[in-house]
Structure 1
Amino acid sequence: MNNELLEKYNRPVPRYTSYPPANFFTESFTEANYREALTASNDWEPQNISLYFHIPFCRKMCFFCGCNSFPMKNDETVKRYMEAVKKEVEMVKQHLVPGRKVSQIHYGGGTPNAIPVHYLEELNQLLFDSFSFIENPEIAIECNPAHLDEESVRRLKGAGFRRFSIGIQDFDIEVLKAVNRDPSQLPVDELIQLLKDGDEPVDVNLDFIYGLPNQTVDSFISAIERAIAMKPDRLVTFSYAHVPWVKKSQKRLEVIGLPSNEDKIAMFDRASELLIDSGYHAIGLDHFALANDELTIAHKERSLHRNFQGYCTRRTTGQVYAFGVSGISQLEQVYAQNSKSINDYMQQVEKGHLPIAKGYQLNDNERIVREVVTEVMCNRHVRWDDMAERCRVSEDAVRSAVAYEETKLTELQTDGLIHFDNEKVNVTEAGNMFIRNVAATFDPLMGGDNESKFSKPV
């Protein structure tokens, strides 16, 4: 990736975990709108249910984090919060018809495993008692390895969790100190073995961030080499998103100093090459999975999907019903976000209200654009006849919805980021680094002041 292309394409663009992005949500969308959407969602596709739980508490606040999280001060607040989450589940369930099956459960944060494990055991049991499930659902939790020991691992597995995303971020103690994060409590290779032991199959993801203070290209590659030797099922290399206008704590990292864009490119390029040479397959923008992984198979079949929880397969794809502070539900025609204030969230639920702060109703064209953007981000490929069939409209209607401009695609092709013809668009290997830019080409909402609200790809 030469400096000219880096300069040209390293501009703010959405991450496209949703379309339209969350900054387009509006406060005119109310609790009443959400209740109507919940009932209507029973007739929308997909019929499967995905459940997301936001556990916002952290024992220690990492300076790089852009998530909605809160310091865990006392158990009374945690207890009150988890009771509110369970009550919210009961309120939402009243709107869902019996028989719809749960295909995915995901706990994110914050740090889900920062709280006493019995809260997670109790919530999962409520879900198992309240819903039907598909065969082999994905039940996943994000974990900070600083809070995992033999007892908590045993109990989390006993609670039904079958995928663990372990936030390593980096093995280098100086990097972790710079971002205010504690290292793994157990040696990571021993932790993976502990998770894998037993009769029930468990998948392990190791998550890393590149672009942090005190990282160099060589030090980051050393971390990836060390991780590869442990053979996790998936390995994720997230680009650090520097948005200090959103998260003021990130300003502290500027004082220490951040790697250059050129070094970040080198970290990604060399890590990608190393992972692929070691038998991992590149999935979407930043995931790498072993050959027998569901994501790898789905990617080869061009049936990969994506939501706020990350990449998933069509088998586990469901409409997302989110619970907890700031949780975003992703229904087929509606997005709805809970209050970002933990006190307001608990008070609203305790009063019997669904704590909706804002949301968005997609129109027909936006649903077409969402399909195209998701296909680009997941499968690096768009066939216009496939999009027309999937959206049940003509190819011309698809092109019109995405404001198709051949001149823009020609420029991307000239720069080596895509190949295209009248039938399809394929993202190249070189274009994968800037796949968000490619997706933005099909986004009529991009441009003007909107760009300032997003992070840069690198």
Structure 2
Amino acid sequence: MKIPVDLIEKYNVPVPRYTSYPPANFFEDTFGTADYLAAVEQSNSEGASNISIYIHVPFCTQLCLYCGCNTHITKDRALMRRYVDALKTEIRMIRPKLDRSRKVSQIHWGGGTPNALPAAWIGEVMEILSSEFDFIDKAEIAIECNPAALDEEYIARLAAFGFNRISMGVQDFREEVLNAVHREVPTIPIEQLVTMIKSHPGMSVNLDFIYGLPFQTAESFADTMARAIEISPDRLVTFSYAHVPWVKKAQQKLEEYGLPSADEKVKMFESAWLQMKAAGYVPIGLDHYARPEDDMTKALESRTLHRNFQGYCTRETTGQVYAFGVTGISQLENVYAQNARTVKEYLEHIDGGAPLVVKGYRLTDTEKIIRRIINEIMCNQYLSWSRIGGEFNQTPGQLKALLHFSNEKLEPFVADKLLEYNDDEIVISDLGRFVLRNIAAVFDIHIGDPNRKFSKSV
């Protein structure tokens, strides 16, 4: 796949990343704890019956300069111990509000760096989840890990706790890049860590990389992908670095080294796409790759792929997301809700007997339809008006009228060979994958709000 330069220039504009709709910068601080607790109880009778649990561990021993996540830089084990105890307490607070008949289909530990915690402490939280909830068969239980803090014993303990997917944030193999972005260099080669993970039956591994960092070139990133392919992960992700120094001030430091141009980033995307395809991996959405036999690939083929803040998932593992821990975002049928901003206020409120939700958003019926449409575009590169209409008891004509949509909005994408459409279907081409965010923005009734800032699409 070759992306013409004129398309890069045309579509490299600020648009939401659409990990949620509306995006997180629409959340309102008038939405609080009482609103969330009421929404949790309401969620038992609306939306997906499955439960997806997100555990946020904010701790990192050092700050990676590219990071856009919610982190707390510390090596204070006493603070971490208090935090783990608070997580356990928060889970016990929310559990009685959830219908006992509902089952957990997904658990995701994110950060920060979850494996900054001693493995035994992770096991304590998993024990509570295992004892308090029933699980579907083959629930996905995943954890994000810094490979610099992994070894054979830690991996074995994660497997014993029931984890069946480890996602390692490699970012790049080259020490020059890792040093520039202040990322720890693993002492155990990634190849060996993957072998250790795969030695446990049923355990799979993701490798995550970032392109667009200082000292990366199209040639060096191609070498990175070649080495990654040799390692043979089950899934691989190539994230485009999002430069948002107005949100994350530490990113300003990267400007001193210089960042690859949009054109150079596109070359990285192109070469990775070609290399992964040639190696037999299937492109998933903007940035994921999976093996042909992977459940994610099968979901894409049947156009039933889904995603949430934790990433892509199948319909089987899809559930309403209940988040625990500082800054965790719950994604329920009708609302989004974000927990306390800082570790200090999180601990204070949990110790005081109640969780703290500092902001959130209540979706309108129209926004829920748009969320579903954007999910189809971003996940399945496809849209059927009749299929979506059937879900919301609307005819295709009614949907289009509600969204003030006309086919003329698609014509620029058709002219650039990014998609094709008829009266009922929109099918996005391989080239169109590169501008999925731009295509999704066509359906966004909030796009153009001058009070919202987003990273560029390239």
Give the TM-score normalised by the residue count of structure 2: 0.98
* C-alpha distance in 2 between matches for 1:186 and 1:253: 27
* C-alpha distance in 1 between matches for 2:332 and 2:443: 22
Q: Is the 8 A contact 1:50 1:317 kept in 2?
A: yes
Asked if 1:313 is matched to 2:292, the reply is no
Deviation at 1:402, TM superposition (A): 3.1
* C-alpha distance in 2 between matches for 1:401 and 1:368: 10
Deviation sequence 1:40-97 (CA, Å, 0-9, x none): 1100121000000100000111000000001123111101111111111111111011
Aligned residue identity for 2:233: P
Deviation sequence 1:409-431 (CA, Å, 0-9, x none): 11111122211121111111111
* C-alpha distance in 2 between matches for 1:332 and 1:271: 35
* C-alpha distance in 2 between matches for 1:351 and 1:402: 45
Matches within 5 A, 1:165-244: 165-198=167-200, 200-244=201-245
Higher mean C-alpha displacement, 132-141 vs 27-36: 27-36
1:456 is aligned to 456
* C-alpha distance in 2 between matches for 1:150 and 1:81: 25
Matches within 5 A, 1:74-93: 74-93=76-95
Aligned residue identity for 2:256: V
Deviation at 1:392, TM superposition (A): 2.1
* C-alpha distance in 2 between matches for 1:182 and 1:354: 33
Aligned residue identity for 2:194: I
Identity %: 48
Residues 1:359 and 1:448: Cα distance change in structure 2 (over 3 Å): closer
Deviation at 1:184, TM superposition (A): 2.0
RMSD (Å), alpha carbons:
1.0
1:31 is aligned to 33
SS of structure 2 residue aligned to 1:453? coil
Deviation at 1:406, TM superposition (A): 2.0
* C-alpha distance in 2 between matches for 1:289 and 1:438: 23
1:73 is aligned to 75
* C-alpha distance in 1 between matches for 2:207 and 2:401: 41
Q: Is the 8 A contact 2:32 2:356 kept in 1?
A: no
2:142 is aligned to 140
Q: Is the 8 A contact 1:335 1:359 kept in 2?
A: yes
Q: Is the 8 A contact 1:281 1:289 kept in 2?
A: yes
Which 5+ residue runs of structure 2 have no aligned equivalent? none
* C-alpha distance in 1 between matches for 2:168 and 2:403: 37
SS of structure 2 residue aligned to 1:94? helix
* C-alpha distance in 2 between matches for 1:401 and 1:281: 35
* C-alpha distance in 2 between matches for 1:400 and 1:250: 42
Deviation at 1:285, TM superposition (A): 0.8
Aligned residue identity for 1:110: G
SS of structure 1 residue aligned to 2:444? coil
Matches within 5 A, 1:50-69: 50-69=52-71
* C-alpha distance in 2 between matches for 1:328 and 1:219: 36
* C-alpha distance in 1 between matches for 2:206 and 2:239: 13
Give the TM-score normalised by the residue count of structure 1: 0.98
* C-alpha distance in 1 between matches for 2:319 and 2:410: 32
Asked if 1:437 is matched to 2:438, the reply is yes
- Pairs aligned (count): 456
1:124 is aligned to 126
Deviation sequence 1:199-246 (CA, Å, 0-9, x none): x31110000000000001110010000010111000100000000000
Q: Is the 8 A contact 1:368 1:401 kept in 2?
A: no
Deviation sequence 1:380-428 (CA, Å, 0-9, x none): 0001000101222221232134331322211111122211121111111
Q: Is the 8 A contact 1:325 1:342 kept in 2?
A: yes
2:264 is aligned to 263
* C-alpha distance in 1 between matches for 2:297 and 2:192: 26
Q: Is the 8 A contact 1:13 1:437 kept in 2?
A: yes
Q: Is the 8 A contact 1:149 1:185 kept in 2?
A: no
Q: Is the 8 A contact 2:177 2:214 kept in 1?
A: yes
2:19 is aligned to 17
Higher mean C-alpha displacement, 24-33 vs 395-404: 395-404
Higher mean C-alpha displacement, 347-356 vs 438-447: 347-356
* C-alpha distance in 1 between matches for 2:256 and 2:133: 49
* C-alpha distance in 2 between matches for 1:306 and 1:441: 19
SS of structure 1 residue aligned to 2:56? strand
Q: Is the 8 A contact 1:403 1:443 kept in 2?
A: no
